[in-house]
Structures are given as structure tokens and as C-alpha cells.
Structure 1
């Protein structure tokens, strides 16, 4: 059986939500592990096989998958019938992959730098700024309810996460706020929240 190594209320929560949303919870064993937390709590867990002690980490036989975008691609390609991904050959495949990589390469680093109040000429020359990232999301979400159009997908789970997690600490727009509310008003979110906090 495939195994997901997960720590409650962490980056791996999005993958647990995805698993619930896809209806494949009976096909993946979710193993809770501890991780070091920013507040000093937690620790590396010897039962976590991730080479850096991080989560999420998916083990499928001899294959090991790390990083949320890679795990999302792997699972949605493995179970295309869920409709949450865009499989090879789908006309939205490129856009789907682009949003997964946009999250890793733009949304998360820009949001962290903005939250921490860090700036430097090298950062400004290398990364997009927060306002540019917001403008891109706002443009798409003003035109459509979800990032790929009218249908909720795995990229909505990943990309809406920081806005849901940090709330008012992440400046946004009305279109982004409405999108985050739609993404959070799902049974998979409620089930995952209950699991993580029980």
C-alpha cells in the first residue's frame, strides 16, 4: 500500500485534504510523524523516511516522492478518474502544471518573504514581488471561480493554502478572498481539520 508520512497542521495537510477530495483514503496509509516546529516544539521522527525529516513524503513501493507539487502530480496522474488533475493529453495539462510550479516558485517564497518583511536587491531582481503575485491571482479569479476555470482542482487546494492558513496576515483581494472561502467550504477540509485536531 502507498504510505503518506504526515504531520498534523503542516504542509502535508494539503495532501491529506487532496486524498480525501479524491476519494482514495482507502488506498493510502497515512502515518503521523513528528517534525520540528517553528515554536521549538516537535522533533525529527525516526519513523519518517524523508531524507530531511520533512513532510509530506509519499512512498509507493520503491518510489519515494517529496514536495507537494510532485506528490499532487503523482497522485492525480495515478488516479485521473478523480477529476482533480489534468492528465497528459488534457488541453489544460500545461496550465495545471504551471500553477503547481507557480506555487512552489512564486507564491510560497514571495508570501514568506512578505510575511517576514525581508527585502534585498537580489530578491527583487530574482523573484516576483507580492503585488505582482496578487495581481496574477486576482486577474484569473475575477474571470473564473477557480484557477483552471469553472471546476475545482488540486491546484486550488495547493495555491489557496497560504491565504487560508495565514488569514488576514496575507493581504489579498475580494476575488481571492471569495476563492479561498469556496476552497475551504468543502467536506475534505472539514474531515482533514477534524483528523488533524482530534
Structure 2
């Protein structure tokens, strides 16, 4: 590949075994590992290890962070939408004009704006009526997922990027996963995909491609 082509390749700034692993998984699922440059950087961890990496252009030195020429994308839901729109032929998204486009975007925003804050607050044992009014609670999240999972995946019969994103926290913290049977079966289907095994193998070995 020429130097010019390299400069035009979208770049993911990634840190091993972090939130950005879900974007690495998306890239694997979409079959575009040869079309995205992945740069491994350090980030500050909750246990006090790691730290900001000067190579990371993210304004807060966090991951994941995607750059594409002069453009850039942060927040996982936005990166998922960006990549699935960029590579619609991979079938992991719902492009503009698709009859499930609204549902697809709704799940991405629900994860980013509701589900992840609720999970973090629940894990931290932080409770306040204002939080329930704004973000809901774990019972509401479980109910929302359960209502959708009368079918194998959130959008129907086929696995998509919304399944990848919304199942991601429970792949890391299985003990925190809701015990509702349909949710457990869905999480198992998501975890048993070949791309998951391939990425976890690389992450465990400390390799990034």
C-alpha cells in the first residue's frame, strides 16, 4: 500500500481490553481489518495504571477514537454508526433509507445515553431520584432488552452492530448480566461468534491489528 493510501485510511486509536475493544470487534465482524489502521495507545485505568498517551489525538486522551482524514469521531455509538455507514456492504448496520434505520440509531443512542450510565451508576451503588428520572434504572433497562428479545437479536433474526454494542459490557462483566432467560440466551449467541473469539485471542495476547 502506498504512503498516500495509508494517509487516507481511517485510523482507530485503541487500548487493549478497554471500551475500544468493542470497536475492534466491529471491525473484525465487518471484515474490514485491512481497511482500518489500528494504533495501540495507553489510557488511564480505574486501578491507577496506565496514563495519557501523547500519540492519542482524542481531546481527553480516551479511546476509542476514530480519525478519517481531517474528520474525527468519538463515542462508541457514533463510531459504530460512522463505520457501518462507510461500509454498508458488511451488513452490520442499517443505512439511510433502510426500514430499520430509525431502530438502529435508537439502540445506539439508547446505549450511549441511557444504558451505559445506568450500568455505571448501578455498579458504583449511586442512587438518587434525579438519576432515575433522567436515566431510568436497571429494571427499566432489563425490561427494554427483554421486550425486544422475543426474537434472536435486537433487530430481528440477524446479528447486527447494535447487538455487539449493547452486549459488550456483559462480555466483560458476566456476573452483572441480567438473569432473564431471553437476555442470557442473547448474550450467549453474541459471545459465541467467531469474531469474538478472534479478537479476545488478540487482546489476551496483547496484539492489535
Fold-level similarity (TM above 0.5): yes
Question: How many residues are matched?
Answer: 197
Q: 1:124 aligns with which of 119, 132, 140?
A: 132
Q: Does 1:111 align with 2:123?
A: no
Q: Does 1:169 align with 2:176?
A: yes
2:6 corresponding residue in structure 1? none
Shift of 1:114: 1.0
Shift of 1:174: 1.0
Shift of 1:187: 1.3
1:38-89 Cα distance to aligned partner (Å, 9 max, x none): 0111010010110000000011101111110111000000000000000000
Q: Does 1:18 align with 2:26?
A: yes
2:5 corresponding residue in structure 1? none
Give TM-score, length-normalised by structure 1. 0.97
Partner of 2:34: helix, strand, or coil?
A: helix
Shift of 1:170: 3.4
Shift of 1:124: 2.0
**Structure 1: where are the runs of 5+ without partners?**
none
* RMSD (CA atoms): 0.9
Given that residues 66 and 72 in structure 2 are in contact (C-alpha distance below 8 angstroms), is that contact kept between their aligned partners in structure 1? yes
**Structure 2: where are the runs of 5+ without partners?**
1-8
In the TM superposition, 1:1-40 aligns within 5 A as 1-40=9-48
Give TM-score, length-normalised by structure 2. 0.92
Q: 1:186 aligns with which of 190, 193, 208?
A: 193
